[in-house]
Amino acid sequence: MDFEQALQITNELVFTRMGRRLSPVEVAVLQGCWQEQTYDQIADATGYSIGYINRTVAPKLWQTLSDSFGEKTGKKNLRFVVERYLRKQANQSIAQIDSGLKGELDSQRFATEVFVPSGLESRSVAPATPSSCQVDWGDAIDVSVFYGRQADLKLLTEWIQTDHCRLVALLGMGGVGKTALSVKLAQLLNQSVVSDRPFHFIIWRSLRHAPLLTELLTDLLSFFAPQFAAQPELSKFLQCLRQSRSLVLLDGFEALLEPGEIGRFQAGYENYGELLQLVGETGHQSCIVITSREKLAEVSMLEGIESAVRSLRLEGSPETVQAIVQDKGLVGSDEQKCQLGNLYGNNPLALKIVSTSIQELFEGSIESFLLEETLLSNGIRRLLDQHFNRLSSLEQSIMYWLAVNREWTTSNELQADIVPPISKARLLEALEALSLRSLIEKQTNCYTQQAVVMEYVVEQFTEGLVNELRTTELSLFLNHAILKATAPTKIQPNQQTDILQTIANQLSKQFGSLAALEQQTLQILTKLRRSADRTAGYGAGNLLNLMHRLGLDMTNYDFSNLTVWQQTCALLFCIR
């Protein structure tokens, strides 16, 4: 028998008999004695004085254990007493140690109600036994229908039960299935009654409403130890994690983070970083599982292959997506189903959203939907809005350039594209941030976007450009090319159709006549000529390409002393 199992048995029995659990220093003494250390060695290891260990803690501990086990227990016979007790209870529930305890247990906190949301496995509310687990599901989602992710569940269970991880982060973009996986994981660990390290408490909480840490701690402590609820302190929380093996699942950490600063907390939420650092660095027998769209700086600092802090990045799940397609009753060949999943990065939520559109608009036909070549729906837009609006200006600029380039692009090419110039270090940092958010694909120092993400970014890009051209407040128009003369021949037609033609159509619709368009483009040209730096940027080249697409007469426009970048059409114009 290992010490963790002995501690679990002893702690639960002490709670049943004495109405309390062992204190941290009692646990330390118990562990030292289990490992046949002297009191001097235990004092050195724990930092307590030998007198305090020898004359205060140890005598009280042995008396408590003697009363709990029903026989004299001390340093020399500790292992024998615990192992004999376990053998006696091998074929019965530990709850039946003393049938007279039932009435007492009814009044103890083990009678706490178990909260089960709709769809989760139901459990009757009854006095819990020392071997049972108290569970509070909060507002956890229904995972009665759960597809795939078996390898991920196996890995996470191994990390928690075998490797004794204290902090685990589930990462991935919105809709990839982090929340569902966290709930399913908790269910499986709750059902693992044969485990030699069962959990005493499991609690699942959502952070989507961004509670302050004191509010969260009050909630958690009310569940673990109501006597501490009035003192929502990290030290009290850590004490609970040490005294009882607990599983705490906190979903949606991105709600606490600063937009544009990956992994950094908003003002007022910095103490969540202290929470993560505390549970990751400090010894205890519990596990905290968090989900986030972004990797927390504290997790990056503490994690490692041999560390008790790990992170798992969830990618799209083809198995899950194909099960959703089947469940939604969509019709198509295996190849078409696979193509549909790939278009949306095998993101389960994205497939659920688009499946509804396919049923309603295309009578469930995947082929008809694919022929339409329209990937975005309102639901997909809202999902991607949540990600895009959190990006820094540099990260958004990179997304725009990848959408313009429309193929695998090296970091050197991106650095050459971006205006104003930035250092390679800043570029690589931003690319890493986008990769961690699962918004870009990476392959040997080359980057691109999934099809649905690219379509969304092009839409954002063209809408932003049209608004700037309408108001003449230019930013994107100056710092990004609408077309690239250096783009491969196969790419240029897409740039012409998806970006330039879209902008031209929107402007024609808004201004109504060629005369109005000529007047507006003249104002834009005048603004370009008056700008502080007339030789830099993409503005002049963009305006030439746009005027050509609009069919405007350019012979009377003065582009002298303006540097023209990425101008792709063969034009004759008067330079005065």
Whether 364 and 435 map to the same domain: the answer is no
Domain, as residue range, for 325 = 318-378
Q: What is the per-residue pLDDT for 306? A: 83
Mean pLDDT in residue range 408-423: 91
Nearest by Cα to 375 from 347, 396, 405: 347
Whether 420 and 518 map to the same domain: the answer is yes
Q: Is residue 279 part of a domain?
A: yes
Q: Is residue 454 part of a domain?
A: yes
More confident residue, 114 or 25: 25
Give the long-range contacts of residues 49-56, CB within 8 A, separation 24 or more.
Answer: 53/25, 53/29
Amino acid at 102: K
> Is pLDDT above 60 for 181?
yes
SS3 291: strand
Whether 272 and 390 map to the same domain: the answer is no
For the chain, what is the domain count?
4
* Mean confidence (pLDDT) of the chain: 82
- CA 353 vs. chain centroid, Å, equals 20
Print burial letters for 202-231: b (CB count within 10 Å at least 16), e (below 16): bbbbbbeebbebeebbbbbbebbbeebbee
More confident residue, 244 or 122: 244
Whether 372 and 398 map to the same domain: the answer is no
Q: Is residue 556 part of a domain?
A: no
Q: What is the per-residue pLDDT for 90? A: 60
Please, are residues 338 and 304 in contact by the beta-carbon 8 Å criterion? no
Whether 372 and 495 map to the same domain: the answer is no
Rounded Cα distance between 380 and 350, Å, is 6
Amino acid at 92: Q
Reading the block at residue 130, the tokens are 């020392």
Give residue-wise pLDDT tens across range 33-67: 988 899 888 888 877 778 778 887 888 899 888 88
Whether 500 and 520 map to the same domain: the answer is yes
CATH number, domain of 22, equals 1.10.10
Q: Which of 313, 341, 361 is where one domain is finished?
A: 313
Q: How sure is the predictor about 567, in pLDDT bands with cuts at 50, 70 and 90?
A: low
Whether 38 and 121 map to the same domain: the answer is no
> Is pLDDT above 80 for 458?
yes
> Is pLDDT above 70 for 95?
no
Mean pLDDT in residue range 293-310: 88
For 149-233, where are the alpha helices, taking DSSP H only? 150-157, 178-191, 213-224
Whether 393 and 464 map to the same domain: the answer is yes
Q: What is the per-residue pLDDT for 108? A: 37
Q: Which helix (H) or strand (E) holds 387?
A: helix 378-388
Reading the block at residue 172, the tokens are 């991935």
Predicted TM-score (pTM) of this structure:
0.61
Q: Is residue 371 part of a domain?
A: yes
Q: What is the per-residue pLDDT for 292? A: 92
Amino acid at 437: R
Whether 516 and 423 map to the same domain: the answer is yes
Rounded Cα distance between 65 and 254, Å, is 45
Q: What is the per-residue pLDDT for 250? A: 96
